[in-house]
Amino acid sequence: MVLVKHLTALFFFVGVIGVSSGSVYEVGDSHGWNNDSSVDYTSWASTKNFHVGDIIRFVYNPLENNVMQVSRKSFHACNSTDFVSVIISGNDSIPITRPGHYYYICGVPGHCQAGQKVDIRVPKPSSSPAPSASPSSWSPIPPPTEHPSDPSPPAGNAPSPSKNTASPSSIEYYSKWLLAFHLFIAVGFLH
């Protein structure tokens, strides 16, 4: 009977943790992040309901494309010289950590002007839960800042280009199971 209680508690906690995780959106869906005019990234983004906790994934050929996070002004001007950050692995996962706008362009000359840019709009939640530190809140890129006239992040402190080698989805997966394991042990010691 004790084992049944423990297993029930474990499945309950794993279920709660699994429900609270976000969705993974691959930019451009099966077409990915490219400059072949097969995807209208503005239309693509307008059909999605992004939320804090979701992950934006860029899949592309790193020899032909890149991903630059830029300010609102640089986004509209397709200015790739004033960027916030650059990622170049070809398989980049970026967690959404706050509401606001996340502006991304391809910095290869002519690509942004041809439409390879996307504005990820994340609305404020209707009820704001208290922020919590979580092992799955890994982020290779600074979150957007909110400002009434320009909700994009400041572009002054541009880090050097870096490769995104960690996989947030695997980090989330193992973090959830580790948390579930700890809760399982805690429940076992309480009874």
pLDDT, one tens digit for every residue, the chain (191 residues): 554 454 444 444 444 344 446 999 999 999 999 998 889 999 999 999 999 999 999 999 999 999 999 999 999 999 999 999 999 999 999 999 999 999 999 999 999 999 999 999 999 987 655 554 444 444 455 555 444 444 444 443 333 333 333 344 434 444 444 445 544 554 454 45
Long-range contacts of 4-11, Cβ-Cβ distance < 8 Å, separation of 24 or more: 5/187, 5/191, 6/184, 6/187, 6/188, 9/183, 9/184, 9/187, 10/180, 10/183, 10/184, 10/187
